[in-house]
Amino acid sequence: MRSFADGIDRMWQTLVQMANDQFGSPPFRRLLNTKFTRQRAQHYSIQMAYYVRNRRDCWGYVQGSAPLDVKRLIWEHEQDELIGKKDEGKDDHITLAVKEGAVLGLRAEAFDDTPVLEGGITCFYSWLHLAQRPWLEAIASSAILEIRNSAELIKGGSLSRHIAEKFERELGIPMKKQINNAEHVVMDVEHAHLLMRVARKYATTEAAQTAIIKGARESLIIDRVYRGHLADMLQALP
Amino acid sequence: MSIVSELTATLDQMVNDQFESLEFKHLFSVPLTPERGRFYMIQNALYTANRRDCWGYVQGSAPLEVKRVIWQHESDELVNDPRANMDHYTLTVKQGEVLGLKPDDFEKAEVPAMVRACFYAWHHIAIRSHWLKAYASSHMLERRNNGQIVKGGGMSFRMGKKFENELGINLRKMISLDLHAVADTEHSDNISEMFERYVKTPEDRELVLQGARDCMAIDRAYRGALAYYMERLN
């Protein structure tokens, strides 16, 4: 009979492998192989701000269904995302996205006036659906997206880092001016460990570990679909 | 009278009317004994946990600005209220010490059937409704606890007084009820401010009223259930 620690470690390795595998999938490769122009980068930034808003929706639902101590972890996580840390001079992540947009020549209003990508709407509802599943599946579906964005866990660099390097290489915008991408490159390393902290206490059965894997796997499917839609959008722009 | 002034006047009337309902009168008429007091305290902690569920769900569906207000609200409730130097659930558990309760009594507590039905009903509104309805539903329970709105004092104050009068426990020792008598005045004012920004049309107002009416109905059922179970204890 396998030990609890073995099960948790195996589950964690599976999650990290799944997150790494995203980058070999056709939609991710298509997205990362599409060259950025200024206009493409502007639209990408706006759609990513909608993505960040959807994350806030989903984490709220996950917080609602999770046990009390996990609610507290999520509440802390949402401080960076939703509120920022004013005493450390850190903006919330929506404000960061809007400020980064200015580097690309975007006005703040563009973030409200530009419609959400149709494929984005579909994916956002799908993620909301996962966020309202039983809580272990729900938390895994949200947390896996931060594992996928962890420079520590993804070989070759997280999604934010890949995109930031493309902005630097293809548009000549240095990383330090990409305040939103730069923040996520750092923060998601820390945030990626939230799921493991929760799993050590609550994923004590094979069924619980299976639920975590299921939530993560389904979220990564939606993630691939979403990145495919973003690639389509970019390729349709000059 | 503006649409929001008219709305808040209606909400104020609704929270005052709660205390005239059969269920509330029933609860307040059941004499407290130590065993009934312990039951009430444990149920109050479970109720607090259910509030955290519902506010999380409402945070999920609300606009960004409202999410931030809820996050701030949950800081006191979930993480740390500087007035007590602890979160509200811990405060409720600590309050239990005056009647000999231990943390384990709260951990192992069963949710009685009629209470469970009320908790699921509140969950349902919080998860499945338009955000204004869900928001109003969660807000109303704090408005009903706001001593500046409810004549004669909010629920926590009245319950605290009942413990004082019938069990001889000074209200100051009922640390959770005592704090909520103050905290929910502030919370309900902060949350209520959002109506000024988001209630613009008769349809918006109707969503708030639906949430308020449904929540108050569940609240009456919940208080009636507590009275029912308390009467069966020595």
Nearest CB neighbour to B57, from listed A60, A78, A83 = A60
Q: What is the mean pLDDT of chain A?
A: 91
DSSP assignment of B70-109? HHHHHIIIII-BTTTTB-HHHHHHHHGGGGT--HHHHHT-
User: Between chains, do A64 and B71 touch, taking CB under 8 Å as contact?
Assistant: no
Q: Residue A132: closest CA among chain B residues belongs to which residue? A: B127
Q: Which residues of B touch A (CB under 8 A)?
A: 49, 52-62, 64, 67-68, 71-72, 74-75, 78-79, 87, 89, 126-127
CA proximity to A158, closest of A106, A80, A223:
A223
Neighbours of B22 (CB within 10 A): 11
**What is the token pair recorded at A51?**
């993505």
Instruction: Give the one of B58, B67, B79 whose C-beta lies nearest to A56's C-beta.
Output: B67
Q: How many domains does chain B have?
A: 1
Instruction: Reply yes or no on whether the pLDDT at B100 is more than 80.
Output: yes
Domain range spanning residue A90?
4-236
For an interface test with B, give the residue of A52, A54, A56, A76 to mutate (most B CBs within 10 A): A56
What is the average pLDDT across A2-26?
Answer: 89
Q: What is the mean pLDDT of residues B77-81?
A: 84
**Is residue A139 scored above 90 in pLDDT?**
yes
Where residue B147 sits, what CATH number does that domain have? 1.20.910.10
Q: Which of B58, B59, B79 sits opposite A72 (nearest CB)?
A: B79
- What is the longest distance spanned by two Cα atoms in chain A? 59
- The whole-number pLDDT of residue B94 equals 87
Confidence of residue A44 (pLDDT cuts 50, 70, 90): very high
Contact between B134 and B70 under an 8 Å Cβ cutoff? The reply is no
Mean pLDDT (whole number) for B151-162 = 92
Q: Which two tokens mark B228? A: 């029912």
The distance of B52 to chain A (nearest Cα, Å) reads 7
Average pLDDT on B54-61 reads: 96
Number of domains chain A contains: 1
For residues B51-60, average pLDDT: 96
Cβ-based neighbours of B192, under 8 Å, separated by 6 or more? B8, B139, B143
Structural domain span for residue B20: 3-231
* Prediction pTM value: 0.90
- Give the model's confidence band at B27: pLDDT under 50 very low, under 70 low, under 90 confident, else very high: very high
B74 contact residues in A (CB cutoff 8 A): 75
Nearest to B54 among A64, A82, A131 (CB): A64
Question: A90 pairs with which residues across the strands?
Answer: A85
Structure confidence at residue A12 as a pLDDT band (50, 70, 90): very high
**pLDDT at A186 exceeding the cut of 70:** no
| Inter-chain touch A75–B71, beta carbons under 8 Å | yes
Please, what sign has the CA dihedral across residues B30, B35, B41, B44?
Answer: negative
pLDDT score recorded for residue B214: 95
Q: Average pLDDT for residues B46-57, to the nearest whole number?
A: 95
Asked if B138 contacts B54 with a C-beta cutoff of 8 angstroms, the reply is: yes
Q: Do A64 and B126 touch (CB under 8 A)?
A: yes
**Coil vs helix vs strand at A229:** helix
How would residue A177 be classed by pLDDT, with cut points 50, 70 and 90? confident
Conformation bin of residue B174: beta by default, left when phi > 0, alpha when psi is -120 to 50: beta
Write the DSSP assignment of A188-226 as a string of letters.
HHHHTTHHHHHHHHH--SHHHHHHHHHHHHHHHHHHHHH
The answer to whether the Cβ–Cβ distance between A60 and B58 falls below 8 Å is: yes
Do the chains contact at B57 and A64, CB–CB below 8 Å?
Answer: yes
Q: How confident is the model at residue A117 (pLDDT cuts 50, 70, 90)?
A: very high
Give the span between the Cα atoms of A222 and A127, in whole angstroms: 7
**pLDDT confidence of A234, banded at 50, 70, 90?**
very high
Cα–Cα–Cα angle for A225, A228, A234, rounded to 5 degrees: 145
Tell me how far apart the alpha carbons of residues B171 and B193 are, in angstroms, rounded to a whole number: 30
Which helix (H) or strand (E) element contains residue B171? none
The verdict on a CB contact (< 8 Å) between B64 and A53 is yes
Confidence of residue A2 (pLDDT cuts 50, 70, 90): low
Quote the percentage of chain B above a pLDDT of 90. Answer: 71
The whole-number pLDDT of residue A93 equals 83
B contacts of A82 (beta carbons < 8 Å)? 64, 67-68, 71
Q: Are B39 and B109 in contact (CB under 8 A)?
A: no
Q: Which of B9, B28, B14 is nearest to B230 (CA)?
A: B28
Closest in B67, B78, B126 to A82, CB measured: B67
Residues sharing a CB contact under 8 Å with residue B97, sequence separation 6 or more, in sequence order: none
Residue % of chain A over a pLDDT of 70: 96
Q: Do B71 and A65 touch (CB under 8 A)?
A: no
Interface test with A, best of B47, B48, B57, B137 (most A CBs within 10 A): B57
Do B61 and B105 contact (CB within 8 A), yes or no? no
Q: What is the pLDDT, as a whole number, of residue B179?
A: 80
What pLDDT score does A52 carry? 92
B81 φ/ψ angles, rounded to the nearest 5 degrees: -95, 115
Determine the pLDDT at residue B43.
Answer: 95
CA distances from B234 to B8, B27, B32, B36 (A): 41, 15, 9, 7
Residue B125, token pair as written in the block: 């509104």
Distance (Å, whole) CA A61 – CA B56 = 6
The complex's ipTM works out to 0.85
Taking CA–CA distances from A81, the nearest residue in chain B reads B68
CATH number of the domain to which A217 belongs: 1.20.910.10
| Residue B25 pLDDT | 96
Least confident interval from A81-95, A149-163, B217-231: A81-95
Of B60, B71, B72, the CB nearest to A64: B60
